[in-house]
């Protein structure tokens, strides 16, 4: 059997047994592949970077912290944007994605990112950019960008695990939480210990809501339908259980909880803030990966 043949067989009958057999396709609940497998992995990263960049920008507005909005703007547009383009099959035609904002969530997202790019740039270069009107508009745009990835997934009615009502609140709070952590580290690096300490009360609040949303998502999806329940089961069993227990359980929840308890009351430490950020970033990536990877379609018959 030559390599080409072997590849084809491997595609159709994965040797690890994780894949679906051709005769089970859409007869058993069938996993979504396009937006996570192979090149689809870019979309996972693109949504993540857009979210954390916009999250950092959003939190920086409350502290009128110019380096924060510059870095947030760059992460959203450069990292998020480039990775989005890498995913597309025909990147030269990407401008066409602006054509249907009336129905397509992707198209709406492109418009929002376009407006964010222009207004964000103006806010960065304008000396009095942190005024109430600018902050309000940019705040709304940031929230829309933070939720853009999950909103695009949320409208897919065919995938129950994505159409859960908790998906949007989860994405918004995760963007704010990660953005807050990035900002806290930036302040720590700039030696502003008072602000870092003052931010801790918000860190604890956002973290609490974040954990609550993760729990609500899992609980809500489990009880939504039989097919949605399979998505949660896929997270807890099989190949993905390590990502769930280590990625979500340890990195997204347990370690940040320990660091938050150590820094409780504002006794912050730059190194601990860094460790918590690293853990939160990895945990957020794991949550996004699992939600995208475990979504399954209803069988047709």
Partner 1 sequence: MPRWGMVIDVKRCIACWGCTIACKEEHFLPPGVFFNRVLIGETGKFPTSSKLIYPVLCNHCEDAACVEACPTGATYVREDGIVAVDDTKCVGCRACMVACPYQQRTYYDEKTKNREFFPGQGKTEMETIGEKLYPFKLGTVIKCNFCSERVDEGMKKGLTPGKDEDATPACVNICPVGARVFGDLDDPNSEINRLIMEKKGKQLRKEFGTEPAVYYID
- Tell me the DSSP string of 31-72: E--TTTSGGGHHHHHHHHHHHHHHHHHHHHHHHT-HHHHHHH
Separate counts of helices (H) and strands (E) for the chain: 12, 2
> Which residues of this protein are in contact with partner 1, per CB under 8 A?
2-5, 8, 11-12, 23, 25-27, 30, 32, 34-35, 39-40, 87-91, 93-94, 96-100, 103-107, 110, 152, 155-159, 297-301
Give the shortest CB-5-to-partner 1 separation in angstroms: 4
Cβ-proximal residues to 133 (8 Å cutoff; 6+ apart), any chain: none
- The whole-angstrom separation of Cα 119 and Cα 123 is 6
Torsion sign, CA atoms 32, 34, 40, 46: negative
Both structure tokens of 243: 């990502």
Helices 66-74 and 41-63: angle between axes, nearest 10 degrees: 170
Shortest distance, position 155 Cβ to partner 1, whole Å: 8
In the bound state with partner 1, the residue whose beta carbon lies nearer, of 142 and 159, is: 159
Smallest distance from the beta carbon of 60 to partner 1, in angstroms?
29
Shortest distance, CB of residue 118 to partner 1, whole angstroms?
20
> Measured from the CB atom, is 15 or 93 closer to partner 1?
93
Contact (CB, 8 A) for 175 and 147: yes
Cβ proximity to partner 1: between 7 and 194 the closer is: 7
Q: Which residues fall within 8 angstroms of residue 6, CB to CB, at 6 or more apart?
A: none
Nearest distance from C-beta of residue 110 to partner 1, angstroms: 7
CB of 94 to partner 1, least distance (A): 6
C-beta closer to partner 1: residue 87 or 245: 87
Give dist(CA 75, CA 30) in Å, integer.
34
């Amino acid at each position: 059997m030559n390599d080409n043949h072997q590849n084809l067989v491997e595609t159709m009958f994965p040797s690890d047994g994780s894949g679906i057999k051709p005769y089970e396709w859409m007869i058993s609940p069938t996993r979504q592949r396009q937006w996570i497998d192979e090149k689809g992995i870019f979309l996972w990263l693109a949504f993540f970077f857009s979210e954390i960049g916009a999250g950092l920008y959003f939190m920086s507005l409350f502290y009128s912290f110019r380096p924060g909005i510059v870095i947030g703007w760059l992460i959203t547009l450069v990292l998020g944007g480039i990775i989005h383009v890498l995913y597309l099959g025909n990147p030269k035609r990407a401008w066409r994605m602006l054509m249907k904002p009336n129905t397509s969530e992707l198209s709406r997202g492109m418009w929002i990112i376009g407006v964010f790019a222009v207004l964000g740039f103006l806010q960065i270069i304008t000396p009095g950019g942190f005024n109430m009107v600018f902050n309000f508009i940019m705040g709304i745009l940031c929230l829309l960008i933070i939720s853009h990835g999950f909103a695009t997934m949320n409208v897919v009615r065919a995938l129950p695990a994505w159409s859960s009502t908790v998906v949007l609140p989860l994405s918004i709070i995760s963007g704010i939480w990660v953005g807050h952590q990035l900002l806290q580290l930036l302040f720590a690096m700039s030696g502003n210990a008072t602000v870092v300490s003052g931010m801790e009360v918000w860190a604890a609040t956002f973290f609490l809501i974040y954990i609550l949303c993760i729990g609500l998502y899992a609980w809500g999806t489990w009880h939504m339908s039989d097919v949605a329940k399979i998505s949660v089961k896929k997270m807890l069993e099989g190949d993905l259980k390590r990502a769930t227990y280590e990625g979500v359980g340890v990195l997204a929840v347990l370690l940040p909880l320990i660091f938050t308890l150590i820094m409780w009351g504002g006794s912050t430490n730059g190194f601990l803030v860094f460790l918590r950020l690293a853990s939160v970033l990895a945990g957020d990536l794991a949550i996004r990966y699992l939600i995208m990877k475990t979504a399954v379609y209803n069988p047709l018959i």
